[in-house]
Amino acid sequence: MAIFKGAGVAIVTPMKENGEVNYEKLGELLEFQIANGTDAVIICGTTGESSTLTHEEHLDVIQYAIEKVAKRIPVIAGTGSNCTETAVYLSQEAEKRGADALLLVTPYYNKATQKGLIRHYTTIANSVKLPIILYNVPSRTGCNIEPATAVYLAKHVENIVAIKEASGNIAQVAKLMSLAKGCIDLYSGEDGQVVPALSLGGIGVISVLSNIAPRETHDMVSLYLEGKVKESCEMQLRAIPLVDALFCEVNPIPVKTALNLMGMGAGAMRGPLCEMEEAHVEQLKKAMTDFGIKLPKEA
């Protein structure tokens, strides 16, 4: 059975002015997502600035989300690392705290060969019982999970059940699904390629866009899965300018800025990420208002 079908939000981690995690605002964002039809929460992923959270913060944020969501929708914990031992530790701790599944990004900086990826993921998966989503985002990690590798892992490791594909290479996604023959669930990791991924057999998206447009992102997927392909495609195309604005600077700078513009108090980014360039802020504002997102007048 799939971990979830539909739109999962790769949720931000709100910060206070002093740089501490703002749990009150995180709680508000989680409630906003659930109220607007989001099908799953992905906590402490790339968008959640996991790379600049301490291990203690990382696990505390995961636990807070699990307790706040209280089984209303699945909570998927980002527990990947470029160190296998660290990923094992975070994964085991997330399991103890009650996560429903894990999202494991490919090793970054030191990277890995395909043989190394198989060993890395197999070791982590064997240390827990939770279902696992592989996360392929070579633009950030410099490490690509080749289709044959993903299929090998899905066939040989029982709890590796899905992949978040954010390579941006739709031909690679097609090859993956051709080789898989249904052995692995596919989630789009690209908000601009949700419908293309669904057309290849995908069952949902793990989305940055959902942070600010949860209902629309949910509906885009649900319409497709209901067979209303034309309507879903229209929503995808309408969202493209906003998706472009959300990625005009490195994620999560634009999406946190967007949430702040909406008055939702996401706060600042931790260094080395910094505030958005003013020209890009104006681009983002226009894309948001054109999409129908209402902004407070002071924004």
- For residues 162 and 134, is the Cβ–Cβ distance under 8 A? yes
Residue 108 designated active-site = no
From CA 130, how far away is CA 186, in angstroms rounded?
Answer: 17
From CA 153, how far away is CA 160, in angstroms rounded?
Answer: 7
Q: ∠ CA 156-161-162 to the nearest 5 degrees?
A: 125
Helix, strand, coil % in the chain, rounded to nearest 5: 50, 15, 35
Cβ atoms within 10 Å of 279's Cβ, excluding its own: 9
- For residues 203 and 185, is the Cβ–Cβ distance under 8 A? yes
Tokens of 128: 């827990």
- For residues 249 and 243, is the Cβ–Cβ distance under 8 A? no
From CA 52, how far away is CA 273, in angstroms rounded?
Answer: 10
User: What burial class does residue 271 get, using C-beta atoms within 10 Å of its C-beta: 0-12 exposed, 13-18 middle, 19+ buried?
Assistant: exposed
Single-letter residue type at 113: T
For tokens 């709890």, the residue is 159
Catalytic residue among 108, 121, 135, 187: 135
For tokens 């030191």, the residue is 110
Residue 285 designated active-site = no
Catalytic residue among 25, 68, 164, 256: 164
Cβ atoms within 10 Å of 192's Cβ, excluding its own: 18
Question: DSSP secondary structure string, 221-235?
Answer: HHHHHTT-HHHHHHH
Q: Which are the catalytic amino acids? A: 135, 164
